[in-house]
A and B are shown apart, each in its own frame.
Chain A
């Protein structure tokens, strides 16, 4: 007989142990998937695991990984604040888009400056844009008790349409381009690479800085503590002097700011211009939701999860080009990882007891 007995003591092991099980499960399933999809599975798995060293230049591959990690982590850390408090902002993709739009608007409003000193202002515009877009679901939730999850999601599609509008209408650039796009921002405002010819650019550092600041607030300040308390005990949070409405406002402001920053950095570092939504938004805001859960809503976990998922994703793309194994492998691994993490989370809250021990513990419990 198997029984689940609620844990009375929590510590390091009960938290980390389920994650290890999830990791092992993911690796096993990943192996099976590769066995099924590849003609020479062992060498392909080896390639997937060690692809940066297999590639002609390792730094280029590491650049891809770090770049992807930074976007996913910066959005996911922001989202995790709300998720802890059961405030569900799933519209980060829209706030990301609006961050880009606002950064570009700021660039135009300030008369298209051509100095790198304007970059912080442009990023600030992006943050502001993300926050403003996130404030809509927050306000509707507080004022009209509307479901913030659905509203924030609907606004993703609205934001995509705004992006399409500005790139085909008022800010339309080169009409001969194959897609609707704006004129590029001045090259001095385009974030440059730290290592030549790689995607490891200063934007990664900027996002990393934002993550560090937010992680510090969450982990080491009273304010962060009260946000974390909200996760399981809304009542305790009220004793700490936080109203539920305050939590909603703050969650959306923080997550919107992080997504907006991500959007502004993306505009400056990756494209240098706004492009119609189909070719500009690639689901980072949605993947970040998964990353937040994979990292168990903890900043360190989120950065680790973002890194691992980015590594597998870039690796799968590399394997696809090297030996033709479909990069759907990466998606399958992601699915497995998330479901393994969610499925083993209960082990942190319960002890599994077998056989006669179960009966004994039942007797002591009653």
Chain B
């Protein structure tokens, strides 16, 4: 029994990490007064970019060669190559976000329209590029598994093994980023500027803060985090494997998380792990109760999307808490007064 609990906890860490990464990024974006609904799209694009990068970077040794054509090969990945793929994912995510930033900040486009466009088109573009990007079909591409940070034998250590030692690099990274973002937003002067821009962009502008620059930077940070989240889903969550629409709404869950957390980093963590546990329970409950009715089984599959709705209903009934923490300029276009 306790083994099962640890299994579920380890799995929920794996499932919560991309939500946490994307939500931390978007939290900073929203704190600066911008709402970017393109998280899902940036995750898809970043995830595909990370996968392509890892595919290109991995060490491949041909084991069966005939007439100069390789029929079978051994592939392996080390931490450095993995890190390289993550950097690519983050950069591509940030680049996609920069497009959104230019549209909304410099060309004053509607935030919602640009964000939705980024998501819808990011999905379409990643599907068609992944299906055949310069001749490689990435749905069939094989990439080696990323090794754990610690020696493999450490994974057998009870409790700590599966929860700590066998985890992917990005799991501890997500915690570090969470603390860093909390510290940045609440304890540093630069964080104060970001919040000032988000609360009242006209006042911040009058004080001499570069509103548009600050927002561009936060947007690109959000994009980089979303790219990492996407890469984590593609590369680390199960095995390195890419399929169309692989994030299945995780980017939207990250957006829901921020509403749930009412823009507070600590509660983002809580929410991410609640969603993570719900996601982790679903296949295990199905495996345990293998003779459950079809209705229940499909209900369980849909549960990760029903839970956020219920949570949002419960949280939204308390408008005071939302108003206290929501950035006052959220989603408003900034037009400097002359």
Contacts and interface: CB of A to CB of B under 8 A. Distances in A.
Interface of A: 83, 86, 88, 90, 140, 144-147, 149-151, 153-158, 161-162, 164-165, 168-169, 283, 286-287, 289-290, 293, 326-328, 330-332, 334-335, 338-339, 342-346, 349-350, 362, 365-366
Contacts of A145: 316-317, 319
Contacts of B114: 339, 342
Contact of B312 (A86, A146, A293, A345): A146
Among the interface residues B259, B312, B313, which one has the most CB atoms of the partner chain A within 10 A? B312
Contacts, number: 136
Given A342-B103, A343-B107, A157 B249 contact: yes
A286 B110 CA distance: 18
A287 B304 CA distance: 24
Given A154-B308, A161-B298, A165-B298, A332 B316 contact: no
B103 A343 contact: yes
Given A342-B113, A346-B109, A144 B316 contact: yes
Interface of B: 37, 99, 102-103, 107-110, 112-114, 116-117, 120-121, 123-125, 127-129, 131-133, 248-249, 252, 255-256, 259, 294-295, 298-299, 301-302, 304-306, 308-309, 312-313, 316-317, 319, 338
A145 B312 CA distance: 9
Contacts of A155: 305, 309
Nearest to A90: B116
A339 B117 contact: yes
A144 B309 CA distance: 11
Contacts of A157: 248-249, 302, 304-305
A158 B116 contact: no
Contacts of B110: 342, 345
A21 B71 CA distance: 50
A332 B132 CA distance: 14
Contacts of B319: 145
A366 B109 contact: no
A331 B128 contact: yes
Name the prevailing secondary structure of the B interface residues.
helix
Contacts of A342: 103, 107, 109-110, 113-114, 117
B309 A344 contact: no
A323 to B, nearest CB: 14
Contact of A151 (B125, B248, B312): B312
A83 B109 CA distance: 14
A150 B308 contact: yes
Contacts of B256: 147, 150, 154
A75 B80 CA distance: 47
B294 A165 contact: yes
A57 B121 CA distance: 31
Contact of A328 (B125, B259, B301, B338): B125
B28 to A, nearest CB: 19
A154 B313 contact: no
B71 to A, nearest CB: 25
B124 A287 contact: yes
Contacts of B123: 283, 286
B338 A158 contact: no
| A-B CB proximity, top 4 nearest | A328-B128, A342-B109, A161-B302, A165-B298
